[in-house]
Amino acid sequence: MKASIVTIGNEILTGHTVNTNAAYIADRLLTIGAGVVSCHTVGDEIGVIVRALKAAIKEADVILATGGLGATADDLTREATAKFLGVKLRLKKDLLRKIEYRFKKRNLKMPDNNRRQGYLPQGAKAIENCVGSAPGFKVSFEGKSIYVMPGVPGEMKAMFERRVLPEIKKRLGLKLNAGRGVTVIRKLNCFGASESQIAEEICDMCGRERSPVINFTVGYGVVTLHITAKGLSLSEAAGKADEDVKILTKRLGNLVFGSGEEGLAEALGRCLRERRMSIAVAESCTGGLIASELTEIPGASEYFKYGWIAYSNTAKISELGVPARLLGRYGAVSEQAARAMAKGAREKARADIAIAVTGIAGPAGGSKQKPVGLVYISVEMKGLKETQRFIFSGSRDFIRRRAANTAINMARLAILEVD
């Protein structure tokens, strides 16, 4: 089954609201094996809404529309849907009574504006809104279904989960044997090689005609493989996807750190917890990013005890015991400084493993010998001491995040190596 999403609202087009509704709906539909083929975002104007519905109905079996169901004059989705269907709006008396009752219950007089919400396109079936005043509705067109839901995320989600998703699921169940199939996506998260290096490694699996299809996304050095499998049943599609996950995990080895939504910090946390190890971090240019990522994971206090943001030289000396003459000779951004920071952090925290990072995040502070983006990362644990030099390019934010991810991954690999 193919789905298309139509999100309606000027606030999305102006960029003031990020379109989280579309991502939410798409994600939930995939869990039941329905794929979203397109998403159209338009403003509160009858003409453009009609155009979007026309485009969506060509592409999909089911349309999920959100927004424009409020009580004010700029809420035009009801009118536009009627126009698209070639029918009139009709007052649904029972619906209006329900809306009136919502206000009555709270001892409020219903504003006249809200009467608008009692009108639906002829033939439409109202969908109850348990959270807010705007009812949704469902219409059919040429054997296809159009669900129209409110744009407020909380109201949309409640309506989608309670009323819309179960109906689509049921319909999908009945149609499963009709031959169009279901889609399942698995994700594998990698670090330590570029997107194109990984693609080369597994090029025999990356063909567009192959099934499952493998797609790549990248963020701050994390390369995520999306494995999209199709099948006639959920178990068939899941089976294919999981088989690919197994093959890829074996072939890519330690490049793979997790699956699904698991990030690097979670993967390192798992390594630490499984071995009952503790960790300490000493950060200069990453300025707390590594610590904040590690402590974002629930239960991090089991393994994370101490962290320092030794931003100044005096902090490196007084808090981590880095010798002043070392800083004088090699500078704060040096292999020697990184190593001394890791040593100091590990000793002071009595931690099993310590990470230290020092570098130049920019935009200022670089020189010819030590350019912006130069970062030293040191990891120290029993049986392993390692310091690496990196040159990252990009903005301050990018350099910091890339350095933090690289450091977390180095700690993960160090633990696996010593095992």
CB of 355 to its own copies, least distance (A): 12
Under the criterion CB under 8 A, does residue 100 sit at the interface with its own copies? no
Under the criterion CB under 8 A, does residue 306 sit at the interface with its own copies? yes
Q: By the 8 A CB rule, do 155 and 127 touch?
A: no
CA dihedral sign, ordered 191, 193, 199, 202: negative
Q: Which of 298, 325, 368, 419 contacts its own copies by CB under 8 A?
A: 298
Binding range to its own copies, per CB under 8 A, among 172-180, 235-243, 286-294, 338-346: 286-294
Alpha carbons 411 and 419: distance in angstroms, whole number: 13
CA 180 to chain centre: 28
CB of 258 to its own copies, least distance (A): 14
Alpha carbons 165 and 183: distance in angstroms, whole number: 16
**Interface positions, 138-157, toward its own copies (CB under 8 A):** 152, 154
Q: Which residue has the tokens 């402590």?
A: 295
CB of 360 to its own copies, least distance (A): 10
Give the residue with the Cβ less far from its own copies, 174 or 364.
364
CB of 419 to its own copies, least distance (A): 25
Q: Which of 362, 374, 387, 412 contacts its own copies by CB under 8 A?
A: 362
Alpha carbons 150 and 163: distance in angstroms, whole number: 13
Size of the site for its own copies (CB under 8 A): 115
Q: Which of 128, 243, 397, 417 contacts its own copies by CB under 8 A?
A: 397
CA angle 55, 60, 61 (to 5 degrees): 130
Give the residue with the Cβ less far from its own copies, 123 or 206.
206
CB of 161 to its own copies, least distance (A): 11
**Interface positions, 35-74, toward its own copies (CB under 8 A):** 35-44, 48, 51-52, 55, 59, 70-74
CB of 226 to its own copies, least distance (A): 6
Q: Which of 90, 98, 370, 396 contacts its own copies by CB under 8 A?
A: 396
CA 165 to chain centre: 21
Alpha carbons 163 and 148: distance in angstroms, whole number: 12
Alpha carbons 144 and 61: distance in angstroms, whole number: 5
Binding mask 155-194 for its own copies (x = CB under 8 A): ---x--------------------------x-x------x
Give the residue with the Cβ less far from its own copies, 92 or 402.
402
CB of 224 to its own copies, least distance (A): 8
The tokens describing 6, both together, are: 């139509």
Under the criterion CB under 8 A, does residue 272 sit at the interface with its own copies? no
**Interface positions, 106-135, toward its own copies (CB under 8 A):** 106, 111-114, 131-132
Alpha carbons 116 and 168: distance in angstroms, whole number: 28
The tokens describing 356, both together, are: 């230290």
Binding mask 214-253 for its own copies (x = CB under 8 A): xxxxxx----x-x-x-------------------------
Alpha carbons 60 and 52: distance in angstroms, whole number: 12
Binding range to its own copies, per CB under 8 A, among 105-113, 120-128, 375-383, 405-413: 105-113
DSSP 8-state code for residue 193: S
Q: By the 8 A CB rule, do 390 and 375 touch?
A: yes
Q: How many CA atoms lie within 13 A of 387 on its CB side?
A: 18
Alpha carbons 404 and 268: distance in angstroms, whole number: 12
